[in-house]
Amino acid sequence: MKQINTFGNAAVAALPAHLLRYVVDQNYERYTWIDQAVWRYVMRQNYNYLKEIAYYPYIRGLHQAGLSIERIPDLQTINDHLGKIGWGAVTVDGFIPPSAFMEYQAHRVLVIAADIRRLEHIEYTPAPDIIHESAGHAPIIAEPEYHAYLSYFGSIGAKAMFSAKDFELYESIREVSILKESEDKEALKAAEEKLQYISENMGEPSEMALLSRLHWWTVEYGLIGTLEDPKIYGAGLLSSIGESKSCMRPEVKKLPYTIDAINYAYDITKPQPQLFVTPHFNRLLEVLEEFASTMAFRRGGAESLKKAVDCGQVCTVSLDSGVEISGKFISYSGDVDFIKTEGPTALAYGGRQLPGHDKTLHKEGYSSPIGEYFIQKGSLSVGEDVLLQYASGYTVEGRVTETLFQEGRLIVATLMECTVRTPTAEICYRPEWGRFDLVLGIKVISVYSGAADKSAYETDVYLSEQSTKKEEYSSKLHEIYGGIRQIREGGWDISPLKDYFAILQNEFPEDWLASLEILELWPDPAVEAHLNQLKERFPEYRQVIEDGLRLHYEHSSYRSK
């Protein structure tokens, strides 16, 4: 089992083993002074703007989550603060599979991408980063109704059925998000074209795909209040200094939040054309419940089992007897009279794997009739020869060698010399195949994604082969940012700023953020003029430079003439 630093946080310490495999070290020392400047710029902009437009607990939530404007937060501080409300945090490498993300949420652990966006993408990046995860998600978690929604959503999402197409989409999104933060423009273009093709050819959306839409339009891009005067609470908006402003424009439609939100797909690479407004957080729970009532884990039966077969992934079928069968389901008959898996299959009860019934015992697959039956001969006692006749027409005949009870009820009977016949008398299990583990249960009451006992079954979780890459900045530019930081925080002599500015002009003509930080400490007209020139030379930086200058003027007695 992988060992991680739990930071003295109960929620992190309680994470199951299979989720620990996604955790990476934060490695705080790898954040550069440029990274720290990016964090500071975004947080200053957010603090200044979002205090007016964000849902009211945002600024208070920053402090409750242990976040400051000046420095990228460290995990220990975040966990110390979130622990007070029963939450924790871990760092991961970029996007993780949606099902795993949901599980973390269910365990009340915030997943934070360890990386931070590049300066070139300071307004917005589709890649998850520490700004989005901590400054976006963490502040609002302190709101009781909201963090109850988050954890409940996670518990629902962890059971959602997903398809092979969903997994393909996840890999493609992860690839685009990684390349967005690199300088490989050719590879990025190819990856975006691939993502577009996959997105347009998904077919019928799975439960996970639909649930992801609800997550996107609430947790990531949600608005709260009235259609006429909404406030931001979604982390994607809270962490995007560009879209947090543009989203309030009239051309971005504001729609009432209802179950209809599942009909709106989203594109992570573009601003959203519409947003959904909830009147209160309880409405989020109402819509989630409405959708959950349609899901396989609530409905059971043949309709749900078909979703498991179509899924092509490991799922769990729960019977009314409490037995849980986890494997890749490939077929069933009638109104679920007979079920069959291929590959490793395990049996569980109450979320715990049954002794002796792990996936190595049933490594080639598993099958069993289910439903009402009567005993034609013998009994289901150890040492007895028995013949069972099912109402569906299936028969099971053999010698009982083991029985397994739970809460006084027989749930599994192991037979040797066993023959199983279909309603048309075809043999579907032969004596020479060895032991036959018959599960007792009349009907399928639930079907959900993943194994019943994930820590026992999922000893190997899927980890993408694509890793995020940390781009290197010039060491000289890094030193300049570090020097500016030391002067600002230490109250040092500002005379080196003139030399820094000269180097920036001559060697780093595209860098605007260092000049903006110099202007904050040394309000020389030449620095302001340089920034205004950069706005004209590089239109893509116009808005961030203007926003920075505006904030500077608001916090300084200096005014440009």
Indicate the annotated binding residues for Fe cation: 132, 137, 220
Binding residues: 132, 137, 220
User: What residue has token string 């973390």?
Assistant: 104
- Contact between 104 and 37 (Cβ < 8 Å): no
What is the DSSP annotation of 286-321?
HHHHHHHTTSHHHH-HHHHHHHHHHH-S-EEEEETT
Q: What angle do CA 503, 506, 510 make, to 5 degrees?
A: 95
- Residue 126 is classified by DSSP as S
Number of C-beta neighbours around residue 328 at 10 A: 17
Residue 337: phi and psi, rounded to 5, are -95, -25
Tokens standing for residue 169? 């989409």
State the Cα–Cα distance between residues 166 and 161, nearest whole angstrom. 10
Contact call for residues 266 and 296 (beta carbons, < 8 A): no
- List CB contacts of 418: < 8 A, sequence separation 6 or more: 396, 397, 398, 399, 429, 431, 435, 436
460 burial level (CB within 10 Å; 0-12, 13-18, 19+): exposed
Residue (of 26, 24, 36, 41) closest to 72 by Cα position: 36
Contact of 88 with 76, CB cutoff 8 Å: no
DSSP letters along 468-535, please? ---PPPPHHHHHHHHHHHHHHHHT--STHHHHHHHHHHHH-TT--HHHHHHHHHS--HHHHHHHHHHH
Q: What is d(CA 336, CA 480) in angstroms, rounded to the nearest whole number?
A: 69
CB 447 within 8 A of CB 162: no
Show Cβ contacts of residue 520 under 8 Å, excluding neighbours closer than 6 positions. 488, 552, 556
Which of helix, strand or coil describes residue 227? coil
**How is residue 541 annotated by DSSP?**
G
Share in percent of the chain as helix, strand, coil (round to 5): 45, 20, 35
Spatial CA neighbour of 247 closest among 269, 271, 265:
271
Closest CA to 249 of 261, 262, 237: 237
Cα distances (Å, whole numbers) of residue 64 to 79, 81, 108, 138: 11, 6, 16, 9
What one-letter code names the amino acid at 293?
S
Number of neighbouring beta carbons within 10 Å of residue 51: 12
List the Cα angle 529/532/533 in 5-degree steps: 85
